């Protein structure tokens, strides 16, 4: 798979808490909240998340099912309305757009769905699916539209003949390539990739990841890449954000977060990724997790991870930890990690 790229560190200003990128990012999310009514309670799917993504950067968002990462993806592309907070695209606040302005936004930021079987219309050929997008956005029709469809298929590594096939006549990898081509049809600046390879066979995942890396570089795209697999995320991401129960647990450079994590939850995710070296694998000390994630409609007080954390202390049960920079460019929400960093003189 294509390796990750090093990114330029930000200047020491207030923005560094949620970035590691330049002062004027492509995407900026500030205290994003999404709550759902559920019976007599409220599900806190996303509960005060902030991050920034530089132009041309890939931010990987990782966490267990139910942590809020897919809800965050839907909020970014305005498939869901935020309960509170702000979403800015190249400096423009987009969380309250309506009408024509919202339609114009659709061309700038697109979502690639997890399951191509569910996201493609079974009654449309690949060419028809792409032509429909071009027509809706009034980008091309007739001969121009057919030429653009051919360009898009070639861009994602499909032959021209694939345009005449229906979804059931294509493999999972081919269907996902059509989904990527559909997102690219409007020439977006940002792609939000919601588990784009999790529904694919292992044998084709690397091909799609390499395709995404090539498209990012050739088209100068900005990615938000969402996955439950920390090992997969590191291959494409410049930085990684780890979510747990609606909040950020850790955020930083891909190498630091995946190879030298500071949050106990991130370490548990890292330990779940098998090491290529059998000897190194045998030396690793797993961080055990207790039980299942709490109910998001009734999150525990204090640190939301304390009910499963092997390092939890009384303070963790009483006070919610702030996201703090404990190493240059590496931000962690953990009382124990903050105390250890202070003892070492890191923070």
Reported as a single tens digit per residue, the pLDDT across 166-194 is: 999 999 999 999 999 999 999 999 999 99
Per-residue pLDDT reduced to its tens digit, 44-87: 999 999 999 999 999 999 999 899 999 999 999 999 999 999 99
Per-residue model confidence (pLDDT) at position 34:
97
Task: Report helix, strand or coil for 164.
Answer: helix
Per-residue pLDDT reduced to its tens digit, 3-41: 444 433 333 333 444 444 445 799 999 999 999 998 888
User: Which is it for the CA torsion 182, 95, 195, 212, positive or negative?
Assistant: positive
Domains and CATH numbers, the chain: 15-108+188-344 (3.40.50.300)
Per-residue model confidence (pLDDT) at position 275:
62
Cβ of 205: how many Cβ atoms within 10 Å? Answer: 20
Average pLDDT estimate for 128-143: 93
Report how far residue 59's alpha carbon sits from residue 83's, in angstroms, rounded to the nearest whole number.
23
Per-residue model confidence (pLDDT) at position 24:
75
In this structure, the strands spanning 92-93 and 84-89 are antiparallel
Do the beta carbons of residue 302 and residue 318 sit within 8 Å?
yes
Mean pLDDT for the chain? 89
Per-residue model confidence (pLDDT) at position 199:
82
DSSP code for 98? -
DSSP lists the bridge partners of residue 38 as 41
Per-residue model confidence (pLDDT) at position 12:
34
Per-residue model confidence (pLDDT) at position 10:
35
Task: Report helix, strand or coil for 244.
Answer: strand
DSSP code for 259? H
Residue 281 φ/ψ, nearest 5 degrees: -65, -40
What tokens were used for 224?
């938000």
Report how far residue 283's alpha carbon sits from residue 288's, in angstroms, rounded to the nearest whole number.
15
Do the beta carbons of residue 46 and residue 243 sit within 8 Å?
no
Q: Report H helices in the chain.
A: 69-76, 99-106, 116-119, 126-136, 142-155, 172-184, 202-219, 230-233, 254-259, 264-271, 278-283, 314-318, 335-344
Residue 16 φ/ψ, nearest 5 degrees: -65, -20
- Is 260's pLDDT higher than 50? yes
Of 225, 201, 204, 202, give the one whose Cα is nearest residue 213.
225
Per-residue pLDDT reduced to its tens digit, 269-302: 888 766 666 665 566 666 567 788 899 899 999 9
Of 309, 343, 231, 345, give the one whose Cα is nearest residue 333.
309
The residue count for the chain: 347
Average pLDDT estimate for 312-337: 96
Per-residue model confidence (pLDDT) at position 293:
86
Average pLDDT estimate for 209-233: 94
Residue 3 φ/ψ, nearest 5 degrees: -80, 165
User: Which is it for the CA torsion 199, 203, 209, 211, positive or negative?
Assistant: negative
Of 34, 53, 51, give the one whose Cα is nearest residue 43.
34
Report how far residue 48's alpha carbon sits from residue 82's, in angstroms, rounded to the nearest whole number.
11
Kindly give, in sequence order, each residue whose CB lies less than 8 Å from that of residue 53, ignoring residues fewer than 6 positions away: 21, 25, 26, 27, 28, 59, 222, 224
> What is the pTM (predicted TM-score) of this model?
0.89
Average pLDDT estimate for 89-110: 94
Percent above pLDDT 90 for the chain: 73
Residue 165: exposed, middle, or buried by beta-carbon count in 10 A (0-12, 13-18, 19+)? Answer: middle
């Amino acid at each position: 798979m294509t390796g990750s790229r090093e990114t330029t560190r930000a200047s020491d200003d207030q923005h560094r808490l949620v970035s590691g990128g330049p002062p004027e990012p492509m995407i900026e999310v500030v205290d994003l909240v999404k709550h759902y009514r559920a019976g007599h309670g409220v599900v806190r799917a996303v509960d005060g998340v902030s991050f920034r993504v530089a132009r041309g950067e890939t931010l990987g968002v990782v966490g267990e099912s139910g942590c809020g990462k897919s809800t965050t993806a839907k909020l970014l592309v305005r498939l869901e309305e935020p309960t509170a907070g702000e979403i800015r695209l190249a400096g423009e606040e987009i969380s309250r757009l309506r009408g024509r302005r919202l339609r114009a936004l659709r061309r700038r930021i697109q979502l690639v769905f997890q399951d191509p079987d569910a996201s493609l219309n079974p009654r449309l050929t690949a060419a028809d699916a792409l032509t429909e997008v071009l027509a809706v956005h009034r980008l091309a029709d007739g001969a121009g539209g057919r030429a653009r469809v051919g360009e898009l298929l070639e861009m994602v590594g499909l032959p021209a003949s694939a345009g005449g096939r229906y979804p059931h006549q294509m493999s999972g990898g081919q269907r996902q390539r059509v989904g990527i081509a559909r997102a690219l049809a409007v020439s977006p600046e940002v792609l939000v990739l919601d588990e784009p390879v999790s529904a694919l066979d292992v044998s084709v995942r690397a091909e799609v990841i390499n395709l995404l890396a090539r498209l990012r570089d050739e088209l100068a795209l900005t990615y938000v890449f969402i996955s439950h697999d920390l090992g997969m995320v590191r291959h494409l991401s410049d930085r990684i954000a780890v979510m747990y129960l609606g909040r950020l647990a850790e955020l930083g450079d891909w190498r630091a977060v995946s190879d030298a994590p500071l949050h106990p939850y991130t370490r548990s995710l890292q330990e779940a990724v098998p090491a290529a070296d059998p000897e190194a694998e045998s030396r690793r000390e797993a961080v055990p997790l207790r039980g299942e994630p709490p109910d998001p409609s009734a999150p525990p007080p204090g640190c939301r991870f304390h009910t499963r954390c092997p390092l939890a202390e009384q303070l963790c049960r009483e006070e919610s930890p702030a996201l703090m920079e404990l190493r240059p460019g590496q931000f962690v929400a953990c009382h124990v990690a903050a105390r250890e960093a202070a003892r070492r003189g890191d923070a």
